Amino acid sequence: MKQFDPNAAATLDSGIFGLPFSSEEAALVLLPVPWEATTSYGGGTSHGPAAILHASKQIDLFDIDNGNFFMAGIAMEEISDEIQHWNRQARQAAKIIIDGDESLPDSVLQQAINKVNVLSEKLNAFAYTETTRLLAQGKYVGIVGGDHSVPFGAIQAFLEKYPDMGILHIDAHADLRDSFEGFHYSHASIMHNVMTKTSLKKLVQVGIRDFCEEEFNFIRNNAARIKTFFDAALSEQKMQGKSWGLLCDEIIAELPHEVYVSFDIDGLDPRFCPHTGTPVPGGLDFHEALFLLKKIVTSGRKIIGFDLNEVSPGEQGVDSGDEWDANVGARLLYKLCGWTLK
């Protein structure tokens, strides 16, 4: 490692959070996935990894909870040109469906859907292969999206190493649709795919406040494997005087010893992520989310890995001039790294 002063400003050639570590040196490696093929409302989340990397260099490294945990090493892999190319192709094909031009023949629409699904499968294979490679090296791994479809392959890889793990899913949306607009690997289907195509035993959802009847019934029909803490119910309990600490205890009691965190930034109140693709009123306060992560670890459980998705600087990307979403995303990512390395 180069000579490094953690109290100094980040240098231009530094890595994520201004750190000097290579992936080989780092205990925790972040895998950026610049993908937003099926995003159907606001865009820009494919710029999330680059925006977070840029904003991360403003973070002061000393952490009041975990001290100088960063010295274990955190590095971000290079943003893949190939994934960006796939994303452009898939995004162009998906736009044909999302725009809803009813004058187009069915054959054209089906061809577009098929193209998106095939490219999504390639993306899943990339995430699986890269995560498997890093886990085999003994690394902790975090996925940085991109839309919320990106971690499916990574979750498959984690389940091979940690078959008894559970997922803590923080999100405004249930993401339990069988498919959305014909896309099998939509950002709205990530947890349905996990529940139906992997061996995951327990999914615990927090902050959910936007869902369809199909998703509500899926939750109800899979009560042994899914526990959903709806945002409205959490808010009502807080209004009636129940502390967030006690609510966190109830959430954590549903989790096994090994926890994978899947964090969609829109699980937070939209004032923390105004440019995310599908913002919904309500959600967690920033410090409520951090407290929940802290309580997972202090309960004796272990965060084994995570993904952070839907951070968007807007359609114009890093040069949009508005860094708030990326600033919040970078700070949330840093705490996820800290509690994982803990």
Q: What is the CATH number of the domain that holds 313?
A: 3.40.800.10
Residue 272: the pLDDT is 97
Low-confidence ranges of the chain (pLDDT < 70): 1-2, 316-317, 319-321
pTM tops 0.85: yes
Residue 6, in any domain of the structure: no
Q: What pLDDT score was predicted for residue 2?
A: 58
200 vs 239: CA distance, rounded Å: 34
Residue 8 lies in a domain: no
Q: Does residue 264 lie in a domain region?
A: yes
Contact call for residues 131 and 141 (beta carbons, < 8 A): yes
**11 assigned to some structural domain:** no
Q: What is the pLDDT of residue 321?
A: 59
The answer to the question of residue 204 being in a domain is yes
Q: Evaluate whether residue 7 is within a structural domain.
A: no
Domain assignment present for 117: yes
Total tally of structural domains belonging to the chain: 1
Judged by DSSP in three states, 306 sits in: strand
In this prediction, residue 315 carries a pLDDT of 74
In a domain, 20, yes or no: yes
Domain interval for residue 292: 16-341
CA distance 9 to 59: 9
pLDDT score at 113: 92
Say what the pLDDT of residue 63 is: 97
206, β-bridge pairs: 170, 229
